[in-house]
């Protein structure tokens, strides 16, 4: 039987590319979405990937989504925490809502999802958790105190969870993409974006599929010795 993979925010952008790749790899993939029903259903129809409406910023919503997938397909062995939002603004202008919504969606979501799958992964002795951070969680970015904090938090969370579960066949890793050609990046002011692309040595935005290729490897059986690691895919924009 195919292993079951849950991809949050998996109907657009990087998440959709990862879902598509894992389906090609032979996994039973379920993607979550929170926004537009119509476009999520269109994605599902086009790809054959099942979609579930679930808000990753709420624990109960994640619990329900996990239970629904388990009931239909069995235990979830692969999780890709991809769902994320931006609400860019200088801190001196940022509202509590702009802060909290980004922290809830981009960071608290990891607790909300992982808490609902980790016990069964431990009992089974197998699991793969990959979370999508960002170059801006590593280096910081103007207008992104909320986003950079959440994306940096993903790295600490993943290292701790990797340690807790290293002897249980569960790996926990992070991908930190740079600027990828998705809706999120395309909504940056064109003049600002042009300046950002100018700082990328490779000279272009990444393709979502370039992120998906690494996610595919990290969730594979071959990657059992990789855990607690953070991988940059940023075209040379930031080297640690
Ligand atoms: N570094 C230093 N100073 C900067 C700066 C930068 N990168 N960008 C802007 N500033 C300065 C400006 O020069 C300006 O200074 P003055 O007032 O002295 O002229 C001041 O900051 C205000 O700049 P703006 O006019 O741009 O201010 P704003 O309020 O209209 O917009 C902003 C601020 C929302 C942060 C806007 O600059 C912006 O959108 N920046 C891009 C942020 C970004 O990269 N977001 C990434 C989104 S995609 C993503 O997050 C995916 C991922 O993981 C990579």
Report the C-alpha gap between 71 and 100 in whole angstroms: 32
**Cα of 143 to ligand 1 centre, how many Å?**
6
pLDDT band of residue 61 (cuts 50, 70, 90) is very high
Nearest residue by C-alpha to atom 7 in ligand 1: 142
Decide if 147 is catalytic. Answer: yes
For the record, the structure tokens of 170 come out as 């569960």
Q: Which domains does the chain have, with CATH numbers?
A: 4-233 (3.40.50.720)
Rounded average pLDDT over 208-217: 98
Rounded average pLDDT over 32-47: 96
| Per-residue model confidence (pLDDT) at position 22 | 98
Nearest residue by C-alpha to atom 2 in ligand 1: 142
What is the separation, in whole angstroms, between the first and last Cα of the chain?
A: 40
**Cα of 215 to ligand 1 centre, how many Å?**
30
Rounded average pLDDT over 95-105: 98
Nearest residue by C-alpha to atom 4 in ligand 1: 142
Please state the pTM of the whole predicted model.
0.96
Exposure string of 80-104, with b = 16+ CB inside 10 Å and e = fewer, is bbbbbbbbbeeeeebeeebbeebbb
Q: How far is CA 26 from CA 8, 93, 94, 166, 219, in A?
A: 18, 47, 43, 25, 12
Task: Among 86, 88, 106, name the best residue to mutate to test ligand 1's pocket (greatest count of ligand atoms within 8 A of Cβ).
Answer: 88
Report the C-alpha gap between 193 and 189 in whole angstroms: 6
**Are the beta carbons of 10 and 37 closer than 8 angstroms?**
no
Residue-averaged pLDDT of the chain: 97
Nearest residue by C-alpha to atom 47 in ligand 1: 185
| Per-residue model confidence (pLDDT) at position 187 | 92
Burial zone of 63 (CB within 10 Å; 0-12 exposed, 13-18 middle, 19+ buried): middle
* Residue 190 predicted with pLDDT over 90: yes
* Residue 211 predicted with pLDDT over 90: yes
Selected catalytic residue, list 147, 179, 217, 238: 147
Task: Among 15, 153, 192, name the best residue to mutate to test ligand 1's pocket (greatest count of ligand atoms within 8 A of Cβ).
Answer: 192
Question: Which DSSP string do the residues of 85-96 spell out, in sequence order?
Answer: ------GGG--H
* Residue 57 predicted with pLDDT over 90: yes
Q: Which atom of ligand 1 is nearest to the CA of 93?
A: 29
Ligand 1 neighbours (beta carbon < 6 A): 86, 88-90, 134-136, 141-144, 147, 179, 184-185, 188-189, 192, 196
| Per-residue model confidence (pLDDT) at position 155 | 98
For the record, the structure tokens of 166 come out as 């290293």
Among candidates 52, 165, 63, which has minimal Cα distance to 116? 63
pLDDT digits (tens, 9 = 90+) for 131-183: 999 999 999 999 999 999 999 999 999 999 999 999 999 999 999 999 999 99
**Are the beta carbons of 28 and 5 closer than 8 angstroms?**
yes
Among candidates 49, 233, 64, 66, which has minimal Cα distance to 135? 233
* Residue 1 predicted with pLDDT over 90: no
pLDDT digits (tens, 9 = 90+) for 41-56: 999 999 999 999 999 9
């Amino acid at each position: 039987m195919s292993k079951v993979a849950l991809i949050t925010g998996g109907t657009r952008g990087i998440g959709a590319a990862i879902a598509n790749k894992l389906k090609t790899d032979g996994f039973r993939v379920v993607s979550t979405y929170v926004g537009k029903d119509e476009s999520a259903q269109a994605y599902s129809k086009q790809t054959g990937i099942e979609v579930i409406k679930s808000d990753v910023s709420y624990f109960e919503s994640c619990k329900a989504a996990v239970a629904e997938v388990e009931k239909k397909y069995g235990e979830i062995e692969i999780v890709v925490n991809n769902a994320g939002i931006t609400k860019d603004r200088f801190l001196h202008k940022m509202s509590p809502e702009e802060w909290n919504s980004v922290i809830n969606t981009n960071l608290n979501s990891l607790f909300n999802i992982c808490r609902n799958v980790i016990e069964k992964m431990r009992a089974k002795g197998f699991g793969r958790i990959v979370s999508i951070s960002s170059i801006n969680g590593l280096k910081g970015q103007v207008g992104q105190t909320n986003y950079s904090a959440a994306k940096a938090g993903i790295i600490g969370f993943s290292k701790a969870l990797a340690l807790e579960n290293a002897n249980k066949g569960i790996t926990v890793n992070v991908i930190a993409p740079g600027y990828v050609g998705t809706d999120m990046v395309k909504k940056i002011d064109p003049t600002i974006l042009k300046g950002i692309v100018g700082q990328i040595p490779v000279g272009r935005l990444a393709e979502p599929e370039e992120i998906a290729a690494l996610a595919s490897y990290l969730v594979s059986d071959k990657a059992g010795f990789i855990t607690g690691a953070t991988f940059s895919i940023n075209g040379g924009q930031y080297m640690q």
